[in-house]
Structure 1
Amino acid sequence: MVELALKCYVHHRQRIVRRDEREFWDSHFMFGKLISQQKAVILRRPVRQTIVEDSIFFATYLNLYAADISFHQRAVHQTDVLGIHFATPRMIAESKRRVLTAACEIVNIVR
């Protein structure tokens, strides 16, 4: 989990120039799959009960969703601010949806 978070951080901080735009999106999709796989692993346990019993699980859960938010915000930033054209409107809409979903998940679990 820590390794995944560090890789996402490096990906988030990456400067993009036109020639390596495709490389950015390739790594973006790879990290998206890794985050989804980690969510699948963590969601095998009953979340609400486990959070009460295991503070490490709670921290990991929150960090995973926070990484998801940061990760997808970067994709939106790449297209909105920097004018990167490789991403389709559908890809950006999906990233925005994932940001909102992850934020709602964090809010619901913290309540």
Structure 2
Amino acid sequence: MWSAVLVEIIAVRVKHKPGRTCPREVKRKIRTFPTKPVVATPQRQLLPTSQIRIHPPAAGADLDAKARVKRARKIAHERFWWEHIQGWQQSGRTRAEYCRVEKLAPNSFDLWVNCLRHRLRKPQKRA
């Protein structure tokens, strides 16, 4: 019985509204709804001299000072890890043991070993 009802439902076509190609009910925006009118904003003419200001550098300010400080920190940081890497090689311990004894993060130590790997290699003799 159910199959007969389903066949009947499938056989009946959906009545289309005039002008629609999709049989489903599609809700669309009502164009007649009152909205605020769009008001054109007046364009201001931008003058470069009024918008751009050039300030002289502050007295005693050195533009390269920040770069020098940053470079010095980087060198000190690299030296810190390089000394630990040399200490690890001389100790004969595994990386994990050395990090545990020296209280270093193993991930950071491994990263720096990989970063400074070129220094660890002994120079090869060229023929």
TM-score (norm 1): 0.33
Structure possessing the higher radius of gyration over alpha carbons? 2
Higher relative contact order (CA 8 A, sep 6+): 1
TM-score (norm 2): 0.30
The structure with the largest helix share of the pair is: 1
